[in-house]
Amino acid sequence: MSLFRPFVVSVSIAVVAGCADQGPTGPIAHLPRNLTASETNLVAANNEFAFRLFREVAREQSPDSNLFISPLSVSMALGMTYNGAAGTTAQAMDTTLGFGGMTLDEINQSYRGVIGLLRGLDPRVDFTLANSIWYRQGVSFEPAFFDVTHTYFDAQVAGLDFSAPSAPQTINDWVNAQTHGKIPEIVASPIPDNMVMYLINAVYFKGDWVVQFDKSRTTSAPFTLVDGSTASVPTMSFADLAPVQVGYVGGVQLLDLRYGGGAYSMTIAMPENPAAMDTLVSGLTRQRWDAWVAAFESVARQVAMPKFTLTHGLRMNDVLSALGMGVAFIPCDGRAPDCADLTRMRSVRDLYISEVLHKTYVDVNEEGTEAAGGTEVGIALLSNSSPWFVVDRPFLFAIRERFSGTILFLGRIMNPAAT
């Protein structure tokens, strides 16, 4: 029996791309209103960012490792941060997030519109999308920055004593509640002394399959790995033939399974040759994705697929730098020709993005799917003196006894490579 490889990044993507309208009992056929032109552009930008992000994350991971991210969560957290960026930092973030020619107002209005559409879209699916900003009390920030993130991202904004032992738990409790306990921690304890703000997004999804798998039929079955060997995995199957969406494009088998009223779905792309997975991921683009979606047709099929639970966490600094926003991570300490500009967040140019942490959870079982994602953007404050002391020029040195002042050795280094 040929089984579907658990390629599940599309869970997060489908949340953005789903088009549906609420129906109390019947299938959902469309959105409650049409997307505006700017909202359409934002969804396209977010999906393009999703594929670029996934490709880069996959490139940096072991090629045979499982991977699960929420591009929507990352985009939302960085979208809030983007409102605090200026100059080349704003340009770099714009390029990375793919906003193109959209104005800041169009971006913010579109985020607000998409958030409003996704919340409560399908009454048979439990979906939460929440934003928050936590800042260190005693550090001044631009009130306009907080106002815009609250207005357009519905962000909860709160000041905390970051030095208090309870501060990390307060933030983590918020994330834990928004993700229904699936991401219990995203902020480290204790909070580093130079960290002055956390911008956090949380996404939670729980939906039952329109056609559920029969628990009594779940059994171990072989799953072919990339190297051609097999592993025995718990495998679900329908009780009988059922209506599903399938497609086939260029050696890739496609399956679409609906949740709840049909607004959300899981899309699976499975290459005929398991060894082609790396090529499939590296070639993942919005154009290819659109071609897959266009190929779906409704048929009756018996479906078998693995059930699995996966947790994943990663630091995205290097990934986002590779995608073009490396300047945002560079403190203005005089060591680089350009550095982070978050002056729309704080008038003094002494802030930079210290970290972007991302955590996810997914459980795919007979009833449906439960998934959660959290993204934390940590903003750090540059100290008055540079945290770096770089010995990169000829220097004099001494070995001494401190209390008497006796110099034991004295020397000069003109070329450390010379012996």
Last residue of a domain, one of 282, 306, 330: 306
Residue 1 lies in a domain: no
pLDDT of residue 62: 82
- Is residue 397 included in any domain, yes or no? no
Does any domain span residue 389? no
Q: Which two tokens stand for residue 309?
A: 């639970």
Asked whether residue 297 falls in the same domain as residue 326, the answer is: no
Same domain, 24 and 160: yes
Let me know: does 154 contact 341? Beta carbons within 8 Å: no
Asked if residue 318 and residue 292 are part of one domain, the reply reads: no
Following DSSP, what letter does each residue of 241-273 receive, concatenated?
A: -EEEEEEEETTEEEEEEEETTTTEEEEEEEESS
d(CA 50, CA 74): 9
What is the number of structural domains in the chain? 2
pLDDT for the residue numbered 393: 66
Report yes or no on 27 lying in a domain: yes
The pLDDT of residue 65: 83
Measure the CA–CA gap between 403 and 406, rounded to whole angstroms.
Answer: 8
**CATH code where residue 247 lies:** 2.30.39.10
Amino acid at 375: T
What's the domain range around 274?
A: 215-306
pLDDT in tens, 27-69: 888 889 898 999 999 999 999 999 999 999 989 888 878 888 9
Q: Is residue 231 assigned to a domain?
A: yes
Name the pTM for this structure. 0.86
Q: How far apart are CA 318 and CA 60, in angstroms?
A: 9
The answer to whether residue 288 is domain-embedded is yes
Residues 276 and 327 in one domain: no
Q: What's the CA gap between 362 and 373, in Å, rounded?
A: 9
Same domain, 188 and 337: yes
- Res 204: pLDDT: 93
Asked if 185 and 315 sit in the same domain, the reply is yes
Q: Tokens in use for 296?
A: 């779906």
pLDDT in tens, 198-209: 999 999 999 999
Evaluated on CA atoms 67, 70, 71, 77, the torsion sign reads negative
Backbone angles phi, psi at 166, to 5 degrees: -85, -15
In a domain, 391, yes or no: no
CATH of the domain at 331: 3.30.497.10
Last residue of a domain, one of 306, 322, 351: 306
Asked if the structure places residue 220 within a domain, the reply is: yes
- From 249, 283, 306, give the residue that closes a domain: 306
pLDDT score, position 14? 30
Same domain for 175 and 187, yes or no, is yes
Q: What is residue 406's predicted lDDT score, i.e. its pLDDT?
A: 65
Below-50 pLDDT ranges, the chain: 1-23, 385-388, 419
